[in-house]
Amino acid sequence: NFYIVFLGAHPVSREGAVENHLNILSAVKQSSHLEAKESIVYSYTKSFNAFAAKLSEDEANKLSGMNEVLSVFPNQYRKLHTTRSWDFIGLPLTAKRKLKSEGDTIVALLDTGITPEFHSFKDDGFGPPPAKWKGTCDKYVNFSGCNK
């Protein structure tokens, strides 16, 4: 099974956090760093200090008892709720439909959050916005501003 293991304080560096995750996992698995590395699925190092790993129930229980571990819980896969799409896009139930072409179309909005500082949003190398752009850009308490 896969488990999420939450640790204490936020890590100082990604490299230090990953090394710490491997050390903790190696201690519980009583194995080498290589085996621990194969067990880790992901190290969370940006917003919080945690890792996801493939563990036995016994290993998860041992981790739970460690001082540096805040919590351990099984990873849960959730099915997205998509039965309200018709209402969400604002179409009345009486709208004319084309069932043949609709059958292969999925309209979805999956909001998993945003981090404006993430490298995908950097505007390095871009010029100013096009003159025809009619949008606005405001600064907010937790938002540093807009990109080009």
% of the chain beyond a pLDDT of 70: 66
Helix (H) or strand (E) holding 140: none
pTM of the prediction? 0.53
CA-based torsion, 80, 83, 84, 88: positive or negative:
positive
In the predicted model, what is the mean pLDDT of residues 116-121?
A: 66
CA 60: distance to chain centroid? 22
Spans of all domains in the chain? 2-74, 96-147
Query: Would you identify the CATH topology of the domain 2-74?
Result: Alpha-Beta Plaits (3.30.70)
Q: Please check the confidence at residue 121 and state whether its pLDDT lies above 80.
A: no
Helix (H) or strand (E) holding 126: none
pLDDT in tens, 67-83: 889 999 998 876 655 55
